[in-house]
């Protein structure tokens, strides 16, 4: 088998229930691109010390599984990148569905040599009005600042390693911080990040639907998101359980 051109890295903690809902969209997008291009890709699920059948489910669905015991999302993504063989990296959360055109769009942009990386904006559809307003705010905020969350980000492996990957001393906002450095690198070498506005990925809305809106507003605003990013205790609620 030829060396993969693209490595898709999916961090996963206790996602046995969600992988069957979302991973098939990634598999289908990858399959379509492989058929159209004649190139190969790989999907790496990084099992982050799960206590359920995450690893078994991922393998059954067709992903390669690697393990990371440290409960730190930056470290989990870095572990996946270290195991990756592709010259392009595509990071996707375990509870995110992607459009069938996504992989083709990502590889096309990176192969062009005009972009160091980028992201596909998310489309959140929570049930409550307050949560929808919060999501709309963040969508506008990211657009104004040319930013992107870790629900999906892509880059060349060269750029990833040049930047040193995600910060492992941060427990929150490490994705935003990484993308800011990626954006700066792209601007410096005149290969700016690309935001694929014609597509949308669809993350689950489990936190928005189960947490009160006031709690989401408190934990998801530009001020709180920058508070104590290196404190595992401060952000423990984000790590102790996966909201269902």
The percent of residues in the chain predicted with pLDDT above 70, rounded, is 98
Tell me whether residue 1 is in a domain: no
Looking at residue 220, its pLDDT comes to 81
Q: Does residue 156 lie within any of the structural domains? A: yes
Q: What is the mean pLDDT of residues 76-102?
A: 98
Q: Report the distance separating Cα 132 and Cα 77, nearest Å.
A: 28
Residue 243 scores a pLDDT above 80: no
Judged by DSSP in three states, 196 sits in coil
Question: If you average pLDDT over every residue of the chain, what do you get?
Answer: 93
Instruction: Please report which confidence band the pLDDT of residue 33 belongs to, taking 50, 70 and 90 as the band edges.
Output: very high
Domain that holds residue 71: 6-240
Question: Predicted confidence band at 195 (pLDDT cuts at 50, 70, 90)?
Answer: very high
Is 110 contained in some domain?
A: yes
Query: Domain containing 14 — which CATH number?
Result: 3.90.550.10
Is 27 part of any domain? yes
Q: Are the CB atoms for 126 and 205 separated by under 8 Å?
A: yes
Q: Is residue 208 part of a domain?
A: yes
C-alpha distances out from residue 25 to 20, 34, 96, 206, 213, Å:
9, 14, 9, 18, 29
The predicted structure's pLDDT at residue 237: 85
Q: What's the whole-number mean pLDDT along residues 162-177? A: 95
Q: What is the pLDDT of residue 216?
A: 85
pTM of the complete model: 0.94
pLDDT in tens, 114-136: 999 999 999 999 888 888 888 88
- CB contact at 8 A, 193 and 116: yes
- Residues 71 and 34: their CA atoms lie apart, in Å, by 33
Distance CA 219, CA 83 (A): 32
101, HSE (Cβ side, Cα atoms, 13 Å)? 8
What letters, b where the CB count within 10 A reaches 16 and e where it falls short, cover 24-57? Answer: ebbebbbeebbeebebbbbbbbbbbebeebbbeb
pLDDT tens digits along 16-27: 999 999 999 999
Q: Is 196 contained in some domain?
A: yes
Counted domains in the chain:
1
The verdict on residue 236 lying in a domain is yes
- Stretch 44-57: mean pLDDT, rounded? 97
- Is there a contact between 169 and 230 (Cβ–Cβ < 8 Å)? yes
């Amino acid at each position: 088998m030829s060396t993969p051109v693209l490595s898709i890295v999916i961090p996963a903690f206790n996602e046995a229930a969600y992988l069957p809902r979302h991973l098939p969209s990634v598999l289908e997008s990858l399959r379509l691109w492989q058929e159209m291009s004649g190139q190969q890709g790989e999907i790496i699920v990084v099992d982050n010390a799960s206590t359920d059948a995450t690893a078994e489910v991922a393998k059954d669905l067709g992903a390669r599984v690697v393990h990371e015991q440290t409960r730190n999302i930056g470290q989990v993504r870095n572990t996946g990148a270290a195991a990756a063989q592709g010259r392009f990296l595509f990071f996707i959360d375990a509870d995110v569905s992607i459009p069938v055109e996504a992989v083709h769009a990502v590889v096309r942009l990176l192969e062009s040599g005009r972009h160091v990386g980028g992201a596909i904006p998310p489309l959140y559809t929570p049930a409550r009005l307050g949560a929808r307003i919060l999501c709309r705010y963040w969508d506008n905020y990211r657009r104004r600042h040319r930013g992107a969350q870790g629900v999906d980000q892509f880059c060349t492996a060269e750029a990833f390693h040049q930047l040193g990957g995600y910060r492992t001393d941060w427990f929150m906002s490490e994705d935003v911080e990484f993308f800011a450095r990626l954006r700066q690198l792209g601007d410096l070498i005149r290969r700016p990040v690309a935001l694929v506005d014609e597509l949308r990925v669809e993350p689950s809305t489990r936190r928005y639907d189960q947490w009160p809106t006031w709690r989401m507003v408190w934990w998801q605003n530009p001020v709180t998101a920058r508070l104590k990013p290196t404190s595992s205790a401060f952000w423990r609620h984000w790590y102790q359980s996966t909201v269902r």
